[in-house]
Amino acid sequence: MIVEVAPAKINLALHVRARRDDGYHALETLFAFLRDGDTVRIARNDTPSFALTGPFGEALAGEGDNLVTSAASAFAARYGGGPWAITLDKHLPIASGIGGGSADAAATLRALARLEGVPVDDPPLFAIAETLGADVPACLLGRSAIGTGKGEQLVPVDGLSDMPVLLVNPGVAVSTGAVFRMWDGVDKGPLGDGAPMALALAGRNDLEPPAREIAPVIGDVVALLAAQPGVMLARMSGSGATCFALFDQAARRTAAAMLIRRERPAWWCLESTLA
């Protein structure tokens, strides 16, 4: 059996530059990945099967085809192999701006590549990832990177590893399509150049204002995170509704998580570090 972690993705900055003719948007974003997330387990089997476990598994149970099974089908069409028994242990909330489905698809591609003897940096594997979603190539790369185009053109960066991070989701699912449709269409400028943390601090998330219109509680999450001792940056990730805070010390991250769990017990929290 091959076991592959599907780590949560966050956008430390996300600049939307323009609407594209193909329905996507021209982006400049700084991706970072946590050490924690979902888990994909794959083994050869007599017949193909797919199972869901974990606290958020039930939310996907009624979907039928999903990004994991789509990734497996696309891999088989390109490389052969199988059939496989696939289990997704789902710990990341659904439709939450942290790349859950994209990370699961990418982890499936990595696991199948390992199982079938395909290099994980094989260019056709990234071509498959791009067909599955704009964030899947970044999740397949699985390390901090600047993304351009629709997010699939990636330049790896260093300097963010081991930074304490806290994710908080208020239990609200936000539609990515709805948030992008509500973007005001104003190009507020590029991501710029410099060290990754400096880019993050100077950057913004252009999807946060429209996401707050859909789910005003996002503003409450960001404000609560920003007020915690030791926070260097608090912002919404992706199209929401998950928000993150980067901390100067792990102990302060843990203290903030304890406070939020006590004051907002219905909110989802994940303590982790950047990979």
90 is catalytic: no
Among residues 9, 38, 89, 90, which one is catalytic? 9
Average pLDDT over residues 148-156: 96
User: What's the pLDDT band for 62 if we cut at 50, 70, 90?
Assistant: low
Instruction: Return the residue matching tokens 């083994």.
Output: 43
Catalytic residue among 36, 38, 104, 135: 135
Q: Could you tell me the two tokens for 50?
A: 């797919």
What integer is the mean pLDDT of 232-260? 98
Contact in structure between 221 and 235 (CB atoms under 8 Å): no
Q: What 3 state SS string does 99-118 have?
A: CHHHHHHHHHHHHHHHHHCC
- Tokens of residue 176, six digits: 């990515």
The residues pairing with 87 across neighbouring beta strands, listed in sequence order, are 41, 51
Predicted structure pTM score: 0.95
| 64 has pLDDT over 70 | no
Rg (CA), the chain: 18
pLDDT at 85 > cutoff 80: yes
Tens of pLDDT, residue by residue over 16-57, are 999 999 989 999 999 999 999 999 999 999 999 999 999 999
pLDDT of the residue at 61: 77
Reply yes or no on whether 135 is catalytic.
yes
Q: Which DSSP category does 38 fall into?
A: E
Confidence of residue 273 (pLDDT cuts 50, 70, 90): very high
Listed in sequence order, the residues at least 6 apart from 78 whose beta carbon sits closer than 8 Å to its beta carbon are: 124, 128
- Give the integer Cα–Cα distance in Å for 222 and 220: 6
3-state secondary structure of 157: coil
**Mean pLDDT, to the nearest integer, of 195-207?**
97
Residue 210 has pLDDT above 70, yes or no: yes
- Omega prior to 170 cis, within 30 of 0: no
Kindly state the average pLDDT of the residues 233-259.
98
pLDDT at 46: 96
What domains are there in the chain, each with its CATH number? Answer: 2-156 (3.30.230.10), 164-273 (3.30.70.890)
Asked whether 218 and 236 are in contact (CB, 8 A), the reply is yes
- Average confidence (pLDDT) over 87-96: 94
Average pLDDT over residues 250-263: 98
